[in-house]
A and B are shown apart, each in its own frame.
Chain A
């Protein structure tokens, strides 16, 4: 079916630690995945994307890993900061620019 799921709805980490947010997807034919960050009262903001021909992609303090064998996607945030507190969504491109979003994980950074 059409679903992109997350293993944990909430995640708390200490400031400065690394965080990992996981996502499972169901459509093995999907070829493009995106992570979005949504701060309170704002719209989703693009963080990083990855195509299915890649296993890993790095940005500034963020890394996305794609494991097509088990249909798993993860977002790693290094050296977390208070501004990283938000809800993070993975999204799967199912063709014709239709994105299917996961439920979201709320990340809280503790001082």
Chain B
């Protein structure tokens, strides 16, 4: 069974559209994340949620809005898509503890904005 899953795997859309990416984890973790990986493979955190509460919000345009309906799900909605949003978006999860918790990643959603 997939531990961290994302849908869709591929997303091709026109500039200006609004799209959502969904993430689910069945690991029982209490913390979930969204990362963006650019064409040069650089991986940068965007958001993290702990028990549905926003913990980390990096310098991300407010066109990006994460939503966590429960601690097993963290969705990412993107408004008014721009060419520069083209990237691979990874969801991850971990269990908060005393620090240094391993994050487990999903397979990624490849977003292409035309």
With both beta carbons as reference points, the residue of chain A lying nearest to B31 in the complex is identified as A97
| Main secondary structure on B side of the interface with A | strand
Identify the A interface with B (CB < 8 A).
Answer: 31-32, 34, 36, 38, 41-46, 49, 51, 87, 89, 93, 95-101, 103-104
Decide yes or no whether B101 CB sits under 8 A from chain A: yes
Contact with A along B96-113 (1 / 0, CB 8 A): 100111111111100000
Interface size bracket, B side: 20 to 34
Identify the B interface with A (CB < 8 A).
Answer: 4, 31, 33, 40-45, 48, 50, 55-56, 90, 92, 94, 96, 99-108
Known: A97-B94, A98-B48, A103-B40. A42 touches B104 (CB 8 A): no
With both beta carbons as reference points, the residue of chain B lying nearest to A105 in the complex is identified as B41
Nearest Cβ on chain B to A26's Cβ, whole angstroms: 16
Nearest Cβ on chain B to A110's Cβ, whole angstroms: 21
Contact A97 B104 (CB under 8 A): no
Listed by A's residue number, 23 A-B pairs whose Cβ atoms lie within 8 Å are A32-B100, A34-B102, A34-B103, A38-B41, A42-B108, A43-B4, A43-B105, A43-B106, A43-B107, A44-B43, A44-B90, A45-B105, A51-B100, A87-B41, A96-B48, A96-B56, A97-B31, A97-B101, A97-B103, A98-B56, A99-B45, A100-B45, A104-B41
